[in-house]
């Protein structure tokens, strides 16, 4: 392990002075210049629906979601306006995508590439919608297994976040629940009985029962909480392990925190990528995919994709440049890693990873693509 705790005073001072993406204070460094808004394409005729295997990405530096053909030599095939700075997205079995933006949750019919409207948040922010990681509004989002509810983590700058519950039939917010600070990720248990909001700046996961909406704070801090808001060593994204319902939260390519939501107990397993980590997903067979964003310290390694088997063995595939989130094809043979990234250094594309061979190639995709889903 790296001697990080011995360097806390230096790390905290540097992190707060730079006000980087993993610090909790407001940014002083300018955001990446906002590109021109993508011009959405005309809706796809009902007679020619969006092909299966198309990717959908959230354009964090714009106000659209973009459809992407990941085949060699292909790329963006169209876009739909959804609202300012879309972050996470969730795809339902009916082909509707639910997109967390700064303004509300947008609903998109992915088969016809049309907007079905915007659901405003019950939690109102001061002033107009803005760009950037610290903006107010939706971050993580997930659907219940039956598709009847959407759960979105809403960031409220300088205080705790809120989990908003949306009835997907009426498309209205029905309930709000307090959760941790900056809810990067939202996940749902396989039986739909609990929702988990990962609080980046509060070192926790808030478990919320869906019948009573009673929240429980579960601390996840394998490095401790000494660094406070200025620490890099905080939770980002989680994945629910299909075999036992435990939450898997990677830290720094060094430690995998395994959280049992029933007891709140956290066990720690070693990881091998040795790089700052963000996006995660898990396949039905229990294989965990983790995005290494790149170095934050002098002894960190570059960006990578970790593929961790259920027995704990890992393959680490190098990636070129910053990345944020990951999705995997239905057959598990291809991973798609977005280049959007919440920190500086993002790029407008996706890395396509051939899982059996580890070969990689880049595909153009949207504007600072962050959240991603594979259409079926």
Mean pLDDT per 10-residue segment, the chain (376 residues): 40 37 39 49 64 96 97 96 98 96 97 96 89 94 97 96 98 98 98 98 98 98 93 96 98 98 98 97 97 88 97 97 96 97 88 98 96 96
Specify the pLDDT at position 345.
83
Distance CA 164, CA 158 (A): 18
Specify the pLDDT at position 343.
78
Q: Which residues does 128 contact at the CB level (< 8 Å), separation at least 6? A: none
Distance CA 179, CA 325 (A): 22
In this prediction the pTM is 0.90
Specify the pLDDT at position 41.
62
Q: What is the dihedral of CA 203, 209, 213, 214, to 10 degrees?
A: -60
Output the six-digit token pair for 221: 């801090």
Specify the pLDDT at position 34.
45
Q: Which residues does 321 contact at the CB level (< 8 Å), separation at least 6? A: 294, 303, 339, 345, 347
> Quick one: which of 129, 41, 39, 106 has its CA closest to 78?
41
If one counts every other C-beta atom within 10 angstroms of the C-beta of residue 25, the result is: 15
Specify the pLDDT at position 230.
87
């Amino acid at each position: 392990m790296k001697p990080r705790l011995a360097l806390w005073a230096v790390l905290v001072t540097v992190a707060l002075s730079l006000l980087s993406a993993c610090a909790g204070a407001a940014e002083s460094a300018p955001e990446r210049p906002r590109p021109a808004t993508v011009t959405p394409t005309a809706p796809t005729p009902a007679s020619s629906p969006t092909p299966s295997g198309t990717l959908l990405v959230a354009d964090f530096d714009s106000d659209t979601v973009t459809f992407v053909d990941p085949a060699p030599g292909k790329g963006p095939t169209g876009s739909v306006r959804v609202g300012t700075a879309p972050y996470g997205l969730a795809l339902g079995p009916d082909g509707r995508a639910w997109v967390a933006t700064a303004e509300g949750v947008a609903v998109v019919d992915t088969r016809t590439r049309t907007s079905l409207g915007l659901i405003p948040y019950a939690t109102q922010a001061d002033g107009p919608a803005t760009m950037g990681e610290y903006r107010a509004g939706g971050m993580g989002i997930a659907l219940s297994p039956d598709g009847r509810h959407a759960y979105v983590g809403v960031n409220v700058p300088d205080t705790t976040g809120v989990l908003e519950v949306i009835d997907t039939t009426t498309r209205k917010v029905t309930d709000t629940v307090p959760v941790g600070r900056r809810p990067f990720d939202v996940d749902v248990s396989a039986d739909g009985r609990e929702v988990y909001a990962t609080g980046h700046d509060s070192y926790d996961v808030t478990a919320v029962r869906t019948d009573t909406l009673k929240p429980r704070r579960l601390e996840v801090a394998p490095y401790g909480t000494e660094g406070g808001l200025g620490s890099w060593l905080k939770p980002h994204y989680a994945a629910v392990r299909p075999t036992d319902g435990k939450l898997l939260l990677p830290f720094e390519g060094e430690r995998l925190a395994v959280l049992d939501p029933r007891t709140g107990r956290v066990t720690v397993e070693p990881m091998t990528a040795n790089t700052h980590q963000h996006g995660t997903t898990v396949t039905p067979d229990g294989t965990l995919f983790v995005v290494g964003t790149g170095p934050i310290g002098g002894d960190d390694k570059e960006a990578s994709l970790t593929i961790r088997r259920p027995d704990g063995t890992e393959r680490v595939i190098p990636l070129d440049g910053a990345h944020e989130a990951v999705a995997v094809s239905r057959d598990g043979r291809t991973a798609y890693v977005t280049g959007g990234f919440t920190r500086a250094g993002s790029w407008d594309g996706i890395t396509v990873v051939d899982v059996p061979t580890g070969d990689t190639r880049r595909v153009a995709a949207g504007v600072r693509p962050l959240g991603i889903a594979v259409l079926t």
